[in-house]
Amino acid sequence: MKTEEVKTDRQQKKSAKKPSGSKKASGAKYVPTEEEIREKAREIYFERIARGERGTAEDDWREAEELLTGY
């Protein structure tokens, strides 16, 4: 019978991949890259169109920035 190795919470957190992006220093506010904002704005755009709502690219960009930065 094979026994599977079970990772503890601490081991899982250690081995978890950190998100790519810009961070100034430990504890600093997360600053998304332009590419991350662009991808999120694109998602927002397609969701908005699917719902039949009107809007602009600038609104989508602003919403993406707010969602990614937490503001």
Query: How do residues 35-58 score in pLDDT, each as one tens digit?
Result: 999 999 999 999 999 999 999 999
> Is 16 within a domain?
no
Q: What is the pLDDT of residue 71?
A: 81
**pTM of model > 0.85:** no
Number of helices and strands (H, E) in the chain? 3, 0
The verdict on residue 68 lying in a domain is yes
Whether 69 maps to a domain, the answer reads yes
When pLDDT is averaged across residues 16-42 and rounded to a whole number, the result is 74
Residue 8 lies in a domain: no
Instruction: Count the domains in the chain.
Output: 1
Instruction: Report yes or no on 51 lying in a domain.
Output: yes
Range of the domain at 47: 30-71
Average pLDDT over residues 14-19: 45
In-domain check, residue 17: no
Q: Would you call 64 exposed, middle or buried from its count of C-beta atoms within 10 A (0-12, 13-18, 19+)?
A: buried
Residue 36 counted as domain residue: yes
